[in-house]
Structure 1
Amino acid sequence: MNKNSKKICLISSSGGHLEQIKQLSEVINSYECFYVVTRTKATEAMKEKRYIVNDLIRTNKFVLFMRMLKMMIEQLGIFLKERPDVIITTGAGVAIPMCIIGKFFRKKVIYIESFARINTPNKTGLLIYKFADLFIIQWEELEKYYPKAIYGGGIY
């Protein structure tokens, strides 16, 4: 299949967030995509084009700020190298810098709230909701937290 000219950055933490983003097969098969993921045995074994980045560690506010700054610099380098048109994420905290960078460069940001979030939002979602171009929830119960979100149902 011919890939469309748009380039997509798929960024997530490992585990369930990554498994959810991999469910976007129509996007993955239609566009040039690359992954930005945190280091695990599974992500090191990925065959797809990917960048392994540091994860967010939340110990105290100072350490959190310093880690976020380091992540921002690391992900800015990836962004400038790849020049994605769209950033799609399922979270978690690792996605915050790339989404901010994307908005700064006027790229589209799409956030898909985790399937595991049925009744309560997560902190990453609450932050990115404020500036995402498209915000998708997988459970109708979350509409009270994200009134402008699109209910897309489960991606599994």
Structure 2
Amino acid sequence: MLAVASGGGHWIELLRLRPAFSGWDVAYVSTFANYATTVPGARYYIVPDASRFNKIAFFKVLAKALPIALKERPSAIVTTGSAPMLAFLVLGRLLGARTLWIDSIAQPKGISLSGRVAKRLATTVVSQWPEVARAERLPCWGAVL
């Protein structure tokens, strides 16, 4: 399984999910090298950051993500998001992996822009806010934080 998230709050949310990964062989991916210390003993990979303001960076993320996905061959990919991790949803789809996008807790009024894209790519997209989940016709499994 791949557990992927950008830095900051996305990474913190992903770490809060670690108990749910018990019994799985998990490799982690993020955008900061020093985050490897937060998942000791786990395989850890780094991809560059990207945003809607720098669309060229998505190709750099995809170039880094492809060898990771091919090496790991995940049966599942879980992400607490942000734009660079959309590459893993694309690759997961191509590899036949089940994918889960958990939209950020920081989006109480509506789904994130990346979450809108994820709705077209991921096997499952969930919101952490019941109101957003209802409006977007998504499941709400509760808050990670």
Query: Normalized against structure 1, the TM-score is what?
Result: 0.84
Deviation at 1:30, TM superposition (A): 2.0
Q: Equivalent residue for 1:45?
A: 37
Give the stretch that moved more between structures: 25-34 or 112-121: 25-34
2:81 is aligned with what amino acid?
G
Quick one: structure 1 residues 67 and 134, their matched pair in 2 at CA, closer, same or farther if it must change by over 3 Å? Answer: same
Deviation at 1:131, TM superposition (A): 2.7
Q: Equivalent residue for 1:20?
A: 13
What secondary structure sits across from 2:106 in the alignment? coil
Q: What is the aligned residue count? A: 143
What percent identity do the matched residue pairs reach?
24
| Stretches of structure 2 lacking an aligned partner (at least 5 in a row) | none
2:92 is aligned with what amino acid?
G
Q: Is the 8 A contact 1:121 1:145 kept in 2?
A: no
Deviation at 1:10, TM superposition (A): 0.5
Take 2:126 and 2:52, find their aligned partners in 1: how far apart are those partners?
26
1:118 aligns with 2:111: no
Query: Normalized against structure 2, the TM-score is what?
Result: 0.90
Comparing both structures, which one devotes a greater share of its residues to strand? Answer: 1
Take 2:141 and 2:134, find their aligned partners in 1: how far apart are those partners?
15
Comparing both structures, which one devotes a greater share of its residues to helix? Answer: 2
Aligned counterpart for 2:78 among listed residues 60, 63, 88: 88
Query: Greater CA radius of gyration, 1 or 2?
Result: 1
Q: Equivalent residue for 2:24?
A: 31
Q: Equivalent residue for 1:154?
A: 143
Quick one: structure 1 residues 78 and 40, their matched pair in 2 at CA, closer, same or farther if it must change by over 3 Å? Answer: closer
Aligned counterpart for 2:98 among listed residues 100, 105, 108: 108
